[in-house]
Structure 1
Amino acid sequence: MVIGGILIAGANGLFLAFIFLDLSAALDTNINGFEEGVEFLPANNSRKVEKRGPKRWVVLLALVLFFILISLMVGFLVWHFNYKNARVQKIFNGYLRITNENFIDAYENSNSTEFANLAGKVKEALRFLYHGIPALGPFYKESGVTAFSEGSIIAYYWSEFSVPQDMVEEVDRAISKEYVLSLPPRSRALQSFNVASVVAFPTDARTVQTSRDNSCSFSLHARAGEVTRFTTPGFPDSPYPARARCQWALRGDADLVLSLTFQSFDVAACDDDGNDVVMVYDTLTPVEPRAVVQLCGVYPPSYNLTFLSSQNVMLITLITNTVRRHPGFKAEFFQLSKMTECGGHLTGAQGTFNTPYYPGHYPPNIDCTWVIEVPRNQNVKIRFKIFYLVEPHQIVGTCNKDYVEVNGEKYCGEKPQFVVSSSTNKITVRFHSDESYTDTGFFAEYLSYDSSDPCPGMFTCKTGRCISNSLRCDGWADCTDFSDELHCVCNATSQFTCKNKFCKPLFWVCDGLNDCGDNSDELQCSCPDQTFKCRNGKCIPESQKCDKKDNCGDGSDEAECDSVWTVPCTQHTYKCQSGVCLSKGNPECDGQKDCSDGSDEKNCDCGIRSFSRQSRIVGGQNSDEGEWPWQVSLHAEGQGHICGASLISSTWLVSAAHCFVDELGIRYSQPSVWTAYLGLHDQSKRSARGVEERGFKQIIPHAAFNDYTFDYDIAVLELDEPVEFSSVIRPICLPDSSHTFPAGKTIWVTGWGHTKEGGSGALVLQKGEIRVINQTTCESLLPNQVTPRMMCVGFLNGGVDACQGDSGGPLSSVENDGRMFLAGVVSWGEGCARRNKPGVYTRVPTLRDWIKEKTGV
């Protein structure tokens, strides 16, 4: 009997048919299974004839190999047709110039007949162009025109290609070239239609505007002498659309440029997965090489968000990937005349100059040259006081995008104040910005000086900066190039000589900080190499750190370990509400549930600022509105601002006890004397929107406060009414009693106190970045004055410090995930910002239990 079987495998319409025959017959197998046979019984032969066949394992092996071969063939065909030839959608945005037509107003309206007719010509020209390029023609699908602008006419378009996977790179290379095309009269529509400068760039498909998707697209034209305002849909009462794409095409009159300012900006944070983003382009099509800025997160009102165009158009796009509720932005723009020249010839003994439109962002695609000439027999010194030329994708160590060039050297990026000088009475400064991403630029001053004595009575740094002779060889690099600390002879009685020949104060030796830079000041300390120094001074082998045993005796070797486990409770360990203590240091409110009962992450609605961006310091230390929402101003009746405080809950503040000591007949200890202002930024604007005014129910200074030594200098204040939290009023986190703020850690001090010793108070809230100083060093600088409830914070070379009027204010420390903790309370100091006289602050962790006892917070 014969049975036919058919196996069919298909790929893209191709079929393979395999027909095999199964010839069945009786199988003759001997009883021992040594041989098999197939019997044929001829009709004319009565004698049985036996014929031997192949072994069974040979047949099975052949069948297996056969089906493996068939499977491989089918798999190859499936891969070849379904994967190798898979198509990738590629969207390119670009622009081209039409050289033989003039722009008319009707081209601004995408619904006009004139727009449609010209757009049709552009699409036909693009079809002709791309079909004539072998690497592009076979894959071209369609194009769309989104806008026109002057010059003679610039057409903005998108083009779509369907590209095989293995041809993507070749298509990208072909599209990246700039094409100049004069079209032949192939059709009546393209007769005498000249196209030049066809440029296209790869584009995120989400940013492409097509005629089928204009639900969130807007076109605005500036009016002469007027400011045009616009917002995201729903602003400010409802959030902008989720998972959407919006864009605003901004225009001005021919030969003018646009100035755009975001007055309010609040979108999803930049570090969130799938964050929302706003892009501003110096063109009407979203192409990366013409991007001016990328914005996300939340900016305070004082942050400079003003941007200039290089022509009369701008494009703003908002891509939303999240469903988070943010109000979006409010913006305005206006048109102004193009800058006819940039730079100039500067003369005189001194003066200033800056990038165009400073402190706003300079425009893209601009070059400026200043030739500075001072009186004869003098040299020129340029001090760049503010310098921000930061651009994404800038290669580190190079300045091939935006830069300033002086004396043949290029400068870019973000730089502290620096000086450049000349060897003659002339110097040339060149500034260049490319076509993309701009920044706020620079502000500089030029000075003339005598080359024979550039710093009369002072030390001259190699950079040209002048510093006091007393700062020479004092252990601090007052010159940015360290030239004031080179070739020094150290004072053996007060200084330590580092291996690198720097001189450092003796009391910095063995303080746990690498002051020399080569660690030589810490090499000969009480604990040898490969050992760990406990907080109690004991030395243990490094291997015993974080081994789940209290080898130090005070638990400090188990208090700051990466892994978390249960350890015996000590003063250095964090204790969960369940009574269990953890090996992890500072686990509270770090976003990770370390306690099994979750108590380390409870009550963590604190320490977060409303604004994710903070302004750069320009000519001072003014803070931003809402930057320190826990900062409180305490006003005494008839005296104005006296002290600061920190908001720790809706009803409780923390301040310094010495602020409430009665003196000169004034009963500062009485709640009725005080008024608290929360959400305040400028002392002259206490009635501003967002500012809350409160009185006090009670003032509770620490019972052990000593008004002579300032030990236990802390007080808690209860408001007469709770406050509602807002963007400018929020509490700061309180650290656990085991929380550590190690030496060298950056901390911020804020307040409205005197800006210098003997000076006057500030109107705008000030901020200063300082560092925790080793406790041993602190005690050696202020002998017999520092207690365990105190900590020194500042810079030993002075310059930044709290001062009179800052008392009681917060010492804010950035801990986990940007969350801020109250590390200390401004307490006392010898003068303000004096060298080797750091500020002294009440150490909050040591008094945390007392705060809990009095406030319940």
Structure 2
Amino acid sequence: CVGKFRCSSSRCISSTAQCDGHVDCEHGEDELSCVRVSGKSSVLQVLSEGVWSTVCSEDWDPELGFSACKQLGYSRSGSEVLRGVRGRLFLKLEKLLLHFFLLLIDTVSVRSCSVWSAQCGSRPQFSTRIVGGNLSLEGQFPWQVSLQFQNEHLCGGSIVATRWILTAAHCVYGFAFPQVWTVLVGLTEQPVSVSGAKYLSVEKIIYHARYRPKGLDYDIALLKLVEPLAFNGLVEPICLPNFGEEFEDGKMCWISGWGRLRMGVSLHSARVPLISAKACSQPEVYQGYISPGMICAGYLEGGTDSCQGDSGGPLACEDSSVWKLVGATSWGQGCAERNKPGVYTRITQALTWIHQQMEVRKKYGD
């Protein structure tokens, strides 16, 4: 299928047939992932004739925004069925793209997906900035969840939509049975000490098909909840980054979790800088192990790091008062050791997979 699109049945179709409004693959995967939000400016783009093109903002309305959000896997409720880019959205975008207007969408339109996915990346019940401390307060990381395996904390995770939790594949690989898992939201201490904390049942667990337990790449998984979450300030989603969005080396971000859990322990957090792939690949650090799908964060001198029990939890960065999920805690040598910073799954490299899982399961009612 060199130069072509491969269907799940291994059938090859022309790349220009992808996202043309006509289903050519048996399972319709050629009409998935046809919309993306790209770059730091959050430009909406659609795939047309094998090329990603920027959408003109003229004649934009909420219905088109809603259709675009549904194509990304978001919707107002979990029961709605995705219609894809066909219909009015496809026809109108196609007409606009013929004019090749490379205009940015109005800010309100750009944030449509955030609005319909419950205005991600905000902390409405937290205003205090912690300096030099590591105990987290209620509402400081409202997207943080605890993944409970047979009622015991095993890993962390992040809320990315009303029914979706993002975590690490190594947390669930080998025992991806929904009935033995629960998701605990809205808490800072374990055992649960606040009335707002809730246990939620899991409907489905999906880990990346290319993840292998002896490997370190593709360490990402999604948990679909049985019922959608109600966002209330203590429980909020974190934004996914945009396609192609870059986060500069040295940017200060936050990690959080219940690593090395003990009875009565609180949610801990730490402020850590992002480390360049070049620095993280030095011979004395992780030479040969850092792939494009990974991002490092922490201090080469050691002292602050994620640890066992933090796996799958968020590496969150604030960008213009909006919090984005830059990484998911994946691996590291020891905890807080010199020249052994934390390594995280790079979310920007996994966006296509994330949106595909959310979209295809909405489209086919899975």
Aligned partner (choices 802, 827, 843) of residue 346 of structure 2: 843
Aligned partner (choices 212, 215, 232) of residue 706 of structure 1: 212
Report SS of the residue matched to 1:659.
helix
2:294 paired with 1:790: yes
Aligned partner (choices 136, 145, 168) of residue 656 of structure 1: 168
Aligned equivalent of 1:450: none
Distance 1:741 1:761, change over 3 A: farther
Per-residue CA shift, 1:533-559, capped at 9, x if unaligned? Answer: xxxxxxxxxxxxxxxxxxxxxxxxxxx
Residue identity matched to 1:675: T
Aligned partner (choices 297, 300, 305) of residue 801 of structure 1: 305
Retained in 1: the 8 A contact 2:240–2:324?
A: yes
Per-residue CA shift, 1:90-123, capped at 9, x if unaligned? Answer: xxxxxxxxxxxxxxxxxxxxxxxxxxxxxxxxxx
1:165-314 to 2 correspondences below 5 Å: none
Q: Aligned partners of 1:785 and 1:722: how far apart in 2?
A: 38
**Overall identity of the aligned pairs, in %:** 37
Aligned equivalent of 2:236: 730
Aligned equivalent of 2:334: 831
Per-residue CA shift, 1:141-164, capped at 9, x if unaligned? Answer: xxxxxxxxxxxxxxxxxxxxxxxx
Aligned partner (choices 742, 753, 770) of residue 248 of structure 2: 742
Retained in 2: the 8 A contact 1:671–1:698?
A: yes
Aligned partner (choices 143, 150, 173) of residue 630 of structure 1: 143
Aligned equivalent of 2:53: 580
Distance 1:719 1:769, change over 3 A: same
Aligned equivalent of 1:608: 122
Q: Aligned partners of 1:772 and 1:762: how far apart in 2?
A: 30
Retained in 1: the 8 A contact 2:205–2:224?
A: yes
Distance 1:594 1:685, change over 3 A: same
Aligned partner (choices 332, 339, 356) of residue 853 of structure 1: 356
Aligned equivalent of 2:105: 595
2:201 paired with 1:691: no
Aligned partner (choices 176, 180, 186) of residue 673 of structure 1: 180
TM-score, length-scaled by structure 1: 0.30
Per-residue CA shift, 1:629-654, capped at 9, x if unaligned? Answer: 0000011105x110001001111110
Q: Aligned partners of 1:602 and 1:846: how far apart in 2?
A: 23
Per-residue CA shift, 1:190-236, capped at 9, x if unaligned? Answer: xxxxxxxxxxxxxxxxxxxxxxxxxxxxxxxxxxxxxxxxxxxxxxx
Q: Aligned partners of 1:672 and 1:612: how far apart in 2?
A: 33
Distance 1:691 1:782, change over 3 A: same
1:153-552 to 2 correspondences below 5 Å: none
Residue identity matched to 1:642: L
Q: CA deviation at 1:779?
A: 1.5
Retained in 2: the 8 A contact 1:643–1:807?
A: yes
Residue identity matched to 1:580: S
Distance 1:852 1:599, change over 3 A: farther
Per-residue CA shift, 1:310-331, capped at 9, x if unaligned? Answer: xxxxxxxxxxxxxxxxxxxxxx
Retained in 1: the 8 A contact 2:39–2:242?
A: no
Q: Aligned partners of 1:837 and 1:854: how far apart in 2?
A: 32
Report SS of the residue matched to 1:696.
strand
Distance 1:673 1:628, change over 3 A: same
Aligned partner (choices 140, 151, 157) of residue 645 of structure 1: 157
Q: Which runs of 5+ in 2 are unaligned?
A: 1-35, 47-51, 56-102
Q: Aligned partners of 1:715 and 1:841: how far apart in 2?
A: 13
2:184 paired with 1:682: no
Q: Which runs of 5+ in 1 are unaligned?
A: 1-568, 583-592, 663-667
Retained in 2: the 8 A contact 1:754–1:761?
A: no
Q: Aligned partners of 2:274 and 2:259: how far apart in 1?
A: 21
Report SS of the residue matched to 2:356.
helix
Q: CA deviation at 1:724?
A: 0.6
Residue identity matched to 2:125: F
Report SS of the residue matched to 1:577.
strand
Q: CA deviation at 1:626?
A: 1.1
Retained in 2: the 8 A contact 1:753–1:762?
A: no
Retained in 2: the 8 A contact 1:694–1:719?
A: yes
Per-residue CA shift, 1:26-73, capped at 9, x if unaligned? Answer: xxxxxxxxxxxxxxxxxxxxxxxxxxxxxxxxxxxxxxxxxxxxxxxx
TM-score, length-scaled by structure 2: 0.68
Residue identity matched to 2:272: I
Retained in 2: the 8 A contact 1:692–1:723?
A: no
Q: Aligned partners of 1:602 and 1:577: how far apart in 2?
A: 14
Residue identity matched to 2:161: S
Q: CA deviation at 1:581?
A: 4.0
Q: Aligned partners of 1:628 and 1:612: how far apart in 2?
A: 9
Q: Aligned partners of 1:609 and 1:647: how far apart in 2?
A: 13
Report SS of the residue matched to 1:851.
helix
Retained in 2: the 8 A contact 1:658–1:710?
A: no
Per-residue CA shift, 1:573-607, capped at 9, x if unaligned? Answer: 8652355349xxxxxxxxxx932696532222110
Residue identity matched to 2:53: V
Aligned residue pairs, count: 265
Q: Aligned partners of 1:761 and 1:750: how far apart in 2?
A: 17
Q: CA deviation at 1:697?
A: 0.5
Aligned equivalent of 2:277: 775
Retained in 2: the 8 A contact 1:654–1:714?
A: yes
Per-residue CA shift, 1:347-377, capped at 9, x if unaligned? Answer: xxxxxxxxxxxxxxxxxxxxxxxxxxxxxxx
Aligned equivalent of 2:58: none
Relative contact order higher in (CA < 8 Å, ≥ 6 apart): 2
